[in-house]
Structure formats: structure tokens, C-alpha cells
Structure 1
């Protein structure tokens, strides 16, 4: 008690300046003068009910220190920074005082009559005051008829010889002698307390009976004819022998609750020099009517045969924080009335069918924080009254052993999957396991009578659903936070996981990495009142996403940019903090709703802030102005219309371009037909002039078949009357028997144009290269562009530049390339025809221009 008060007062003193609260004030009925550097009791009004004077420098309290304060009920004089002297009847002017706190003050002198006149005093705090045995032997507490609680902890008391006046303290219920130096307590010392009933008596941390040699027969029973509701003898270092002797000494005393924590009983792990309790250790408590026994925080390694057999009325047994590794057969024999068993924080590794035999009425078993990895199937089967089983923080990998009981705690284990076992429960806690398959969730949702299911911090991320969800009319609360439902839902599976939960009221889906909600996923949750979607990745909520009857929504910590306020119209409370709001005019409707709504908005206004644009980052939404947004909305509408128009126009243009490119051959044919319709008598050829031929086609004889099909049939008039050109080529027009050079010269000078079809065969044919040279000579002689070079095939610039005549032409003149796509052939032939028909005057003009680039026709 004293420690808690010191801590509380210290916190108040430290935080008061930071909070702007004065530690020296009076508010009408309470006077607070904490740490005000006072050296004497201040004058306060007679209406004061509480007077706090701790942490000052008051040295003396006398009968005249206080004015008459009839209404004062609480006085704190503890923790003075100077030694305190309390004179006779120092508090006589405080007749109705109920609580007097002197704890933490070093009392140099305390008059035996210091407390006289306090007939209504109920609680006296004298902890850590440096008091000796005299405070008990010399009658300091005479006439305190209403005294209920006496705190003498942390003093220098060495013996408990009580003054006979203790017999008169009929209201006394609680005495705290902890943390003194009391080594022995015998019957004659506490004789004034005989016949009394105490709710609490503490002798903790006194080295009681452990530092001296005891004559138990002479000391007798210190609690004879007393009824103790709680006796605390913790922290005295008792081993098995001292505990057994003490139990035998107090045989017959009524002690309902014995607190024996921080003991030294047990061999612990890896040792054998100390004994574990046996069936004789607590035998002396058989007639004590003990209901509760706390022997936690020790070193018990093994629960031996019938160790508690004499405690037949025991209802609560606390064995937590020992080193228990084994439970022998019949260890709990005789505990026919035990209802609560706590064996948490021990070293149990496995449980056998016989471990809990002898516990027909046990309702709660706490086994959390052991190392249990396996449990036999019938370990809990015959515990008919078992209501709650706590197996959290163990190493379980299966639950075949699990009985049908109302409350089951299995969090913090290593469960990867759940077996399909018959199970009935009201409450199941399976958080912090390794469950991955949502089929396990479908299984749990079919457990009859289940009301609360906790599955936080698992790994639910996929399912292979092989059965439809069944109706669960009992489930009210479902906790699925900190899983990975996003992975399952983005795969399109398990969207109906909540389909049968028409009575569900609370659903937690926080921290599931959700960036969308499956359509209609909450449609069947007609009774849902609270939904948590906190700390996900949702950027938008659509109409219909939320259940119709939802009242409370937590969607904080998401990435909502511009939420629609209509979504929250039916709610009574919502948390929208820590989202990524875009503070532009699109948010104006939400801002208006936020400032006008009657819905409860959870969280601090400072936690609802702009994220974008950067100029407004961190600005509270409540400070964001939407002025001018109406004009901007009109402008935005115009911008949008313009955007649509431009987009449609650009799209049509691109479509036309793509169509023309895709069907350019067909388009060219259409173009030619249109020209033929416009000009009904097109010129088939040119009028007669000095040239015998329109063009001389120079090509390798190995390319004749290709040339005939690709060019001659479409250009030469002798192949078709529809053609327009009179062409010359070696295979038909050279004079047989004539010198080949003469034929070439005649063809070159008798033709308006020379068309050289340069292919790989052409480059290997010496006559072709010779003809190309003659054609160049004519161009130089006539100063015109009579030579037309057409590259056929996949010849690169490098191949062309290897030949001197062709290199000179390529460097100065344009040349044509036969198209790779067949639909470009007609266009190419038209282009070639135009080149052949080009007028002499134009040729001369063109010849004056030095061409630097190469046009590739493809």
C-alpha cells in the first residue's frame, strides 16, 4: 500500500508542473500542499475534508498545530524531508479523521498518546517510519475503537509483543507487518488478538522462522483462537521443513487463504539438494478450512504423490511460476472441491491421461506459458465440470485432445491446421498460431454455440473450399486481425466466408493488407454493429461495401484519398484518422460533411490531415478551406469536356492512321481508281521523241524470272497493252551476235532512263557493273539524272559501298529499295513510273542538288 501511495504522489508531483497544475491550492473542501516547502501546518478553512501535506519540511506536530477541523476526514503527512516529532494528542482537533497517513516520514519521536482523541480513525498508515517494537508494546493505539487497517510495514520491528490494548480494537481487520525483521512469532505474543477475525494479516519478507533455531513445542500456535481470511507469509525463504513445521504448529487455526509465494521449496531443474513438497508438507492444514493456497514463485519441480490430500476444502490452488516438470499419479488426490488450478509459467512438456485425476469439480485450469508439445487424448475427458482451459503460449501442434468445454484458450502455439473433431464451445481463442488455410475458419464457424472466436495474428491467406458455409446463429464476435486475407481474396476465393453469420455483431479485419473489399462480402452480416478495417491499404470505399445496419466503423490507418461522405450517413461513430487525404476541391463534399455531421468522429482532429499536395502536407482537414471550389468545379467540367473531345479526336486520328498503314495497299488501289475516274483518258505512254526506249532495265540474268513477274508484266507494253512503257532488256532487245559492249552502249544511249536492279547477283555480274558504269558516264555527259538504282533484297549499305561505281552513286544520289511488304508493290511501281516519266527540265534542276540522305522504300 505504501509503495503505491509513494508512486502515485511522486507521479503527481512530477507531472503537475508539466501539466500546468499547481501543487499548492485549496478548492473549497480539499487542501493540497504537496512539495510546497512548508515547515509547519498551514491554516485552512474549517470546511476542509482532505488535507495533503506530503513532501514538505514539517518537523513538529503538536496539539495546537491544527485548527479545529471538524469535517476533516483525510490527512496525509507522509514523506517529510526532515525528521518528524509528533507530540501528545497532536490530532485532537481532528475529531472525525478517518484516514491518517504518516508513511515514509522518519519519526524521531512519537508520544504514546499521539493518537488519542481519534475515535473515528479507520486507517492508520505508519509504513517506513523507522518504528521499533515499542510502538506495539507501549499502547500507542489505545482507544482507537474504529481502527480497521493498520500498516506497519517497512519498519524496524523485531518482535510482535502486543500491548493488551489490542484486545480493545474490535474493528481491526487488517494488519501489515511485512518487510520488518520479525524472526519469531509465538502464541503469547499475539494473545491480544485471540478471538478476533482478521481479513488480512501480513508477515511477508521478515525472514520469519528461517534465520533462527525454533522450538516449535515451546512456541505453540501463534494464531490460536483466531480466524484469518488471508495470511501472507511470502518471501520468508521457507523450505519444505519450515513449511511442514509451521503447518503443524497452526493446526486447527481457521485460515481461509494462505499466501506462501517466493518460497524455497523444491529441487528446481537440474538439482536434488532441496526437497519438493510431499504428502506431509501441508498435512497440518487439514483442519484449517483452507479455501485458497498460493505457493507460486518457487522451485517446485515435481508434484508428488498425494501432496495436497489433506486440503479437502481447497477451492483455489496457485502453483504458477515454479519449475514443475512432472505431475505424478494421484498428485491432486483429495482435492475434491478444487475449482481453480493455476500451473502456468512452469516447465511441463507433456500431459498424460492421469495428470488431473482427483479433480471432479475443477472448472478452470491455467497451463499457459509452459512447454507443452503433446497431450494424451483423455487428459481432460473426465473433468466433467471443466469450464475454462488455458493452454496459451505452449508448443502444441494438434488439438485432438480438446474436450467440448465453454472456454478454450489456445493462442501462441504452433498449430498449422485443425483436425475435424467434434467440438462444442462458447469462446475459442486461437490467436498467434500458424493457421494458413481458411478451411480451418469454415470449420470453426460450424462449432455449435460458439459466441466469440479470436483468430488474430495467424497467417490466413488461401483456401481450397470444398463445402459451403453453414449458418451459425450464435457467433457474435469474430476477431480476424493481423492475417493475410488479401492474398485469398485477390485470388477470387473465399468471398463467402461471412455468408452464414447473420447474428455477428462485431468483426475485426484490421491489418490484413486489404486493398479492396470483395463485392457483397458483408452483405449477409445483417446484425453487424461494429467493423474494424484499421491499418489496411484501402484507397476507396464504394456504395454497398458496408453492411446496411453498421453503427461503428474504424477505417483509420488506410489510404483513403477522397471518401464519399454518403457512405457514413447511417453510422453513429467512425474513425478516419491517419488516412492519405488529397486536399483538393474533390474533397470539398467530405470536408463539408466533416464540419457539419452529428456522427461521433473518433480520434484527435490533428490526426486527420492532408497528405497531398505537398504544400498542404500535415494540415488538419478542419483547417482546410474549400473557398473557390464551386468555380473550379465548373472549370473542371469544361476541362473534362475538352479532354473528352480531344481524346475522341485523337483516337479517331490514330485509328485512321493505323488503318491507312495497315491497309495502305488497298488504299493506294482506291486512290488510283479515283484518279482513273477523274481522268478518263490517261496517257499510256509518252509522245515520240529521240529515245527509242522509255527505260533500259539492267539486271542479272539470274534474276530474270523475278524481274519478269515483278516489273515487266506491270510496266512493259509488250507484256500487256494496259502498260505504258517501252522497255529494253538484254534477253529480248540485245542484237544476237553483236558485241556485248556495243549492245550495252546502244541500250544506255537509246533509253530515256536506265534502271539498274541491284541484287546480290547483280554485284557478282561483271557485265551488270559495266552497264552501271556506262549509265553513270551518260549521266555525266548529259548532266542529268538518267540513272535510277533499285536495291533488291537485303543488301546493306556496307555491301553497296564495297563497289566503286555504286559507292560513288550512293554517296551523291538517292536510290530506291524494293519493298518487303507485298501491299507496297503497287505504290512502288507507281513511284518508279514517276521517276521514269520525270521531265528533263526537272532532272536538270534535281541534278544540281547534292543529296546527302538515303530514302529507303519499304
Structure 2
């Protein structure tokens, strides 16, 4: 948007060829082995401890000799190198002596770099014999005024760029031979000590057009008294495209005097960054620029003016009135707190105005009067909290309005423009005002209700909408019909909370009517399901991101038919259906939680045979279960022992037998114990004592760290501890047999809570959920319940034990979808109301925890076998 010129930017431009050479060297294995090398075209001898010019082939085009100890360069130092284009002799660690016609044997040399080499002796005829020299770099060489006063640069008819920055030059009295340098257009005197510059000094350049003239950080006119009338115009007869006067400590008075002195001289771009103009904030010792400061530049045809990085506090009336041709004005990084009426009066041609990084707090209707041609207005990083409704209404040609990183709470002032940037403000809701826009950016705000998204999708002409990092989570008060936006192409909704909205069953039509949408980002939205048909209307969608959610499965037909790129990484997919991905062009499925059993065999086969481009390395697609395959890449898993049809039949039969037997036994035992519970328990204990002679056998060593993970609400901790933990957990009493895990004691502080829950569920023989009224209101408890259910399905075992505590009626339990699904298929325990049943209940619960299920250990011809790792 804006061009900033400095010493370093010019050096970067000058070194573009060197950087390209460096890339070639980095890519060459030969050069990696030897930094001092020549291949016939490029000779690289940087940092090789040379004391003289090495011999190179006459076909060499680039000779790089920096960081050596070369002290003398004379004509005989080089053989005849007619093809040499670049010679780099900068940064020598020895003081350099350059003799007469030192480079005559390099007749076609284009770039000569001597920068940062301390030149002790420079012969006046040192550069003779270089008719094609285009660029000469002499920055930071310790050169004095003599290099300009004498004829060092005569006969360099092709010289276009001359860099004499950071030397010891104090006067710019140029030798008459500069008149002969017809190609010279770029001169840099920055970082010297040039206190004055008068008309007679640059006389050899009169009648010339220079693309760049650098006087940055020279203390020009700021350290000495200047007789402006006697000095007269130093730029007389010189046409400048860019004049860099940055970092010279200029006040408004100095700039006014300079402008008056050079009036009439043509300057297209004037750079005055890092000035000291302005009163700043809290002091008044230096004045802000006023109408007279730039008045004398009326005939200079200034197109770009850079006044950034200063202390301007107030923009005074008619400040830039005479700059009729100005197109770009940069006032960023000042202390601007006040814009007076008519401050921009007269800037009829201004197209770009940068007021970012200032101290503006309010904007009024009159602030931008006089800007009929403004197209880009940058107001980011201020403290703007209030903007009057008609502040931007008169800017008829405004195309881009940048108000990011402010404190706005409403958008009632928004005009109809192509691009509106409102990120990082304090917007919590949007008034439904009428305007048009092509691009809207509203990331990092506080929008919560999806009614605002419905409103934005109805804005005419909208093609790009960015709403990342908001709080979209509510569907209340949504009274809009689905959008019929036929222009929207890209929609970014990352890092919101759409799961909270969609789980209510509302706003499932939010994407309906977006028939031209091509890119959709829904990553980091806590999604654990996709509403049915949510993408049905997205017939043009090509790229979809569902990364970093909680999806465990994708239903058939849930993805758009024309989708080409899908990012579903960092979810919790167990066994995805490869048929969903066969039509894609690219897929990212890394960092999911794959369960590596025979159900995954189809996906593993597809993964190794597909033509779909897969993002990430094979190591990023790994098993999470079983523990024997934890971290193993799916690409290294063999499926030859898995028969899909046999596995399905075995799974169905096993589930049928397991559920039938378990349910029957559980019902019979429950009836007997309920009817004769006292007698049954007494008999059971008596038999147990007779068989084991009063000694309880220690449980056999297990692969699990804990016998059971007890999941309960933190509000039930005291009851759970007294009623259960003290009677079951071995750490409470040596007489207890069980190793229990519960949050208050065994979760790792500072660890991700989901990771703690997952480790507890998968690291325990059983999971015991104490379902109470507090449990049903605790989101983490419900999340642990879901993980335990997932393990039941994967292990084909009853590893989840539900204990209902208190007088919870059935309908309250059935209100929760997760628990309802469990209760419809499995039995659960209730804490006994009668105290006589407590001991029996605890014993029964211990037995349920220690009981080894037979489902996974049965030896059968049709039993599922764990997928093994390829050796």
C-alpha cells in the first residue's frame, strides 16, 4: 500500500542478485562441503582467510570475496575476466588499498561491492576502465569529502546507483565530472554528517531526474544555524521521484523553512519519517505542523508524503491545503488525538490515508471533509470507541475502511464500501442496518447470537466473510428465513462455539441458499456431530475445514458431493468410512484417535491404495488403541488376518449372546437379592469364609493401572468418600482390595482435562459413574460418561458401571441423550435406601469391578483378532 524508503531497503534491492546466488549455494551439496569453491561461473570465497585475490577461471560471472583479509587491489590482482558481472569485496578485515585502474581487467563488470571495507587508500583512477558499471556500493568505507570533490567517478557512463551512505562525508560539493554521469539516478548519502546543503553543491546534477536521493539521518539543517536566503534552493533544476529526509530531527519550523527554500522543485515522494514535529501527548514544547508548514510545496507536485513515526498530536485546519496532487498520506505512529475541522481540506486527489497507530478516541462527521477521492482509509490500532453516523457517508469513493483493533461496540456508522475490516473490537451484537460490502472482517469480537450471522449473510454483494474467534453459540431470537446469498464465496467461522447452538436442534439451515460458497472453515467449534443435511445447499463447496473438533464419526452423505479438499484433522474419529473420501482431491486426516482393530481394516487398505493427496506424514496417522499399537502408523499395520464378513458375524453374535446372558442373569439375581437380600448376603459371606478360610485372595496382576475409575461430581465428593471410597480404596485402608482412581486425587494438575479423563477411562478395568443431580449438571462428568461408552463399544465388554444416587426419577435420567442411550440397553445400580443393604451393595460393586469379562478372551474360529504391526 505504501512505499517506505531507507538505507536498508536500498541495500536489499542491491543484494537481490547475491541472495539468489546464496539460494543456489544452499541447494548445492558440493558447496555445502566446501565454502571456498569455484565451478567456472560462480566463485564463492567468503570467509576463506584470503590475503589476496585468488585465481579463477576466465568464465567466472560472479566472484564473491567478502569476509577475508585482502588488503591490496591493483590491476594485476585480476586476470582478464571478460564475463565477470558481479564482484563482491565488501567487509574485509584488513584496511584496503585500491590502486590505479584496479579493475581494468573486468571490462564488463556490472556491480562492484566494496561496502563495509575500510578503504585506507583510494586512487582517483581506481574506477577507470569500467564502462559498463551499473551499481557501485561504497557504504561504510570511511570515505571523506574528497570522494565527491575530486573526479573519482569520471567516465562511469553506465553508473545508475551510487551508495555512499554511512561514511565520513560532511559536504556534498560535487565534482563537475558528475555532469557526465548521464545514467546516474539513485544516490544515497544517508547516515553521514551533512549539516547543510546549499544550491551550489549539487549544481552538477541540475537538469537531471533522480529516482532516489537519500539524506536519511544526516542531521541536515537541525544542528547548525542556517541562513536560508543565502543558502538558496539546493534542489534547483533537479527532478526527484523520492527524497528521503527521515530521522533528521526536523521540527515544523525547519520543515517550513526547507519547503519555502525548495519551492518549485519537483518531488514525487517525500519521506519524513521519525521526525520530532508535534507536541506529543502531555507536553507543548514543540509545535504541531500548521497551514504554513507545507504551504510552499504547492508547486512541487508531491504525490506521496510520509510523516509517520512522530509526535503530531493535533491535525490543524487546512494543514495540507496546498498539496492538491497528493495521492498517499501516511500519518501512522504519531500521537494524533484531535482532527480539526477542515484538516484535510484541499486534498482533492488523495486516495490513501493512513492514520493507524495513533491516539484517536472519537470520530465526528466533520473529520474527513475535503476528501472526495479517498479510496483507502486506515484507522486501525487507535482507541476509537465512538463514531458519528455520517462520518464516512460523504466519502463517496471509499473502497476500504480499516478499523481493526479499536474499541467499537456498534456498526451503525458503516457506509456501503467494498471492504470493511472490524476485527479485534468489542462488538457483541450487530444492529441490522442496511449497507453493501464485498469483504467483511469481524474476527476477534464478542458476537454470540447466530442472528447476527443470518443478518450478515443477507448483505448484498458479499463475497468474503470472516468471523473467526467470536463466541457464536446461541440460536435465540432468530427470525430470519434462510439466506439466498448468491455471491458469497468464502466463509470463515473458525474458533467459535457452534456446537452449543446446533445441539439445541436450531439453526440447522444456516448454510441454506449459499449456492456459490467455495470455502468454509468450521475448525475449533467443539463439534461432536454434524446436523443432518447441514451442507446440502452448498453445491459449489470445494474446500471444507472441520479440524480440531470432537467428531467421532461422519455419516454417509454428510459431505457435499462436489467437495475437493477436506481437513478433518485433530478430531476423535475411530473407524472412518473410506467411501466418504473417495471423491476428494486432497484430505487431511492426521492426529485422530483411530482404534486399530478389524473394523478399521477397510480404511487401512484404502489409505495405502488411494490416489487422494494426503496431507501430513505417515507418522501423523497413528493408532490410539489398543495399547500394544499405541502410536503405530496406520501405514505399518497389516490387515491380512482380518476377514471383514467373519468379523461382522462374530461381532453380532458376541454382542447378542453377551447382552442376552448378562441381562437374564442380572434380572434373576436382582429379583432374588431384592426379595431375600438379607439371607442371600449372609449365605454368600458364610460360604466365602468357608472356601477361603477367612482370607481374601489378592486380585491377579492386571494390565490396568486402576481397578476402577470413579466418576462423580465434585459437589458429591464428601458423600462419595464416606460412603464408598473409605470402604473400597486400598489407599484408605489396607483391608480394602481395590485400586481406585478419582479426579480429586489422581488427575494431573495442569494437564488438559480431556486428557485426564481419557487416561482414567482407558487406564482402568472399569468405570463407575455415580449419577446424581449434580452429575447431570456437570459437563465434564457427561464427557467422561461418553468416553466410557466408547470404550464399551471398542472392547466388547461391560466396562461401564452406572450407580444412580438419590431419588432421581426415571424421566430426569432419560432427558440426557447420552445416559438415555445407555439405560435403554444396559442395567444400572441404585444406591440402597435401606442401610442394611449398604454392605451387600459395596460387596456387589466390588465384585462387578473385579469381574473379568469373557468377551475378548474366548477362543473361537470367528473371533476378532487384533490387527498386528508389520514386522
- TM interval, shorter chain, is 0.7 to 0.9
Q: Distance in 2 between matches of 1:28 and 1:574?
A: 46
**What is residue 41 of structure 1 aligned with on the other side?**
53
Q: Which residue of 1 aligns with 2:525?
A: 512
Change (3 A) 1:389 1:597: same
Q: 1:146 Cα deviation (Å)?
A: 1.1
Counterparts of 2:651 and 2:385 in 1: how far apart (Å)? 68
Counterpart of 2:589 in structure 1 is: 576
TM-score, normalising length: structure 2: 0.73
From 52, 63, 74, the equivalent of 1:62 is: 74
Q: Deviations over 1:389-442 (max 9, x none)?
A: 111111111111111111111111111100011111111111111111110000
Which residue pairs with 2:394 in the alignment?
Answer: 382
Work out whether residues 16 and 23 of structure 1, in 8 Å CA contact, stay in contact via their aligned partners in 2: no
Q: Distance in 2 between matches of 1:442 and 1:326?
A: 37
List aligned pairs for 1:131-280, cutoff 5 A.
Answer: 131-280=143-292
Q: Distance in 2 between matches of 1:345 and 1:646?
A: 69
Write out aligned runs for 1:399-478 (5 A): 399-464=411-476, 465-478=478-491
Give the one of 588, 595, 611 matched to 2:608: 595
C-alpha spacing 1:606/1:205, structure 2 compared with 1 (3 Å): farther
Number of the residue aligned with 1:853: none
The one of 369, 378, 388 equivalent to 1:357 is 369
**CA RMSD after TM alignment:** 2.6
Q: Paired residue for 2:625?
A: 612
1:119 partnered with 2:118 = no
1:585/1:626 contact within 8 Å kept: no
TM-score, with structure 1 as normaliser: 0.74
- In structure 2, the CA distance between the partners of 1:343 and 1:412, relative to structure 1 (3 Å rule), is same
SS in 2 for 1:228: strand
What does residue 26 of structure 1 align with?
A: 38
User: Residue 544 and residue 296 in structure 1: after superposition, are their counterparts in 2 closer, same or farther (change >3 A)?
Assistant: same
Distance 2:78 2:611 in 1: 54
- 1:518/1:21 CA distance change after superposition, 3 Å: farther
1:783 aligned partner = none
Secondary structure at 2:602 match in 1: helix
Which residue of structure 2 aligns with residue 816 of structure 1?
Answer: none
Larger RCO, structures 1/2 (Cα 8 Å, 6+ apart): 2
Residue of structure 2 aligned with 1:284, choices 296, 306, 312: 296
Q: Which runs of 5+ in 1 are unaligned?
A: 665-858
Q: Report the equivalent of 2:578.
A: 565
Conserved in 1, the CA contact under 8 Å of 2:584 and 2:612? yes
Alpha-carbon distance in 2 for matches of 1:647, 1:408: 60
Q: Is the 8 A contact 2:494 2:525 kept in 1?
A: yes
Q: Distance in 2 between matches of 1:171 and 1:359?
A: 39
Say if 2:483 and 2:510, in contact at 8 Å, map to a contact too: no
**What is residue 101 of structure 1 aligned with on the other side?**
113
CA separation of 1:311/1:639 partners in 2, compared to 1, >3 Å: closer, same or farther? Answer: closer
**Hey, what's the Cα distance between the residues in 2 that align with 1:617 and 1:663?**
47
Q: CA deviation at 1:617?
A: 3.7
Matches within 5 A, 1:411-810: 411-464=423-476, 465-622=478-635, 624-630=636-642, 634=646, 637-638=649-650, 640-652=652-664, 654=666
Alpha-carbon distance, 1:302 to partner: 0.4
Seen in structure 2, the aligned counterparts of structure 1 residues 31 and 620 have a Cα distance that, compared at 3 Å, is farther
Compute the displacement of 1:659 (Å). 7.9
Question: SS in structure 1 opposite 2:241?
Answer: strand
Task: Report deviation, 1:615.
Answer: 4.1
2: CA distance between counterparts of 1:162 and 1:299? 35
CA shift for structure 1 position 658: 6.6
Report the 3-state secondary structure (helix = DSSP H, G, I; strand = E; otherwise coil) of the residue aligned with 2:200: coil
Per the alignment, do residues 565 and 241 of structure 1 end up closer, same or farther by CA in structure 2, a change over 3 Å counting? Answer: same
Range that drifts further, 602-611 or 419-428:
602-611
| 1:697-748 residue CA offsets vs partner (Å, 9 max, x unmatched) | xxxxxxxxxxxxxxxxxxxxxxxxxxxxxxxxxxxxxxxxxxxxxxxxxxxx
Q: Secondary structure at the match of 1:544?
A: coil
Segment drifting more, 632-641 vs 374-383: 632-641
**Structure 1 pair 611/44, CA: closer, same or farther in 2 (3 Å)?**
farther
Q: For residues 155 and 620 of structure 1, do their structure 2 counterparts lie closer, same or farther at Cα, with a shift above 3 Å needed?
A: farther
Q: 1:652 to 1:620 in 2, by over 3 A?
A: closer
The number of equivalent residue pairs is: 663
Q: Deviation of residue 516 (structure 1)?
A: 1.6
Structure 2 portions without partners, runs of 5+:
1-6, 677-871
Does structure 2 conserve the Cα–Cα contact (< 8 Å) formed by 1:510 and 1:532? yes
Give the drift of 1:298.
0.5
* Alpha-carbon distance, 1:325 to partner: 0.5
Native 8 Å contact 1:354 1:379 kept in 2: yes
Q: Distance between the aligned counterparts of 2:600 and 2:671, measured in 1? A: 43
Q: Counterparts of 1:154 and 1:78 in 2: how far apart (Å)?
A: 14
Partner secondary structure for residue 240 of structure 2: strand
Say if 2:601 and 2:642, in contact at 8 Å, map to a contact too: no
After superposition, give the CA deviation of every residue in 1:91-144 in whole Å (9 maximum; x if it has no partner): 222222211211122222222222212111111111111111111111221111
Alignment match, 1:677: none
Measured after TM superposition, the shift of residue 381 of structure 1 is 0.9
325, 332, 339: which is aligned to 2:344?
Answer: 332
Q: Aligned to 1:230, what secondary structure does the other structure show?
A: strand
Residues 633 and 182 of structure 1, relative CA distance in 2, 3 Å threshold: farther
Deviations 1:548-579 (A, max 9, x none): 10111122222223322222111111222222
Q: Deviations over 1:448-475 (max 9, x none)?
A: 0001111111111111221221200000
How far is the alpha carbon of 1:650 from its aligned partner? 3.8
Alignment correspondent of 1:716: none
Choose 635-644 or 176-185, whichever is displaced more: 635-644
Larger Rg: 1
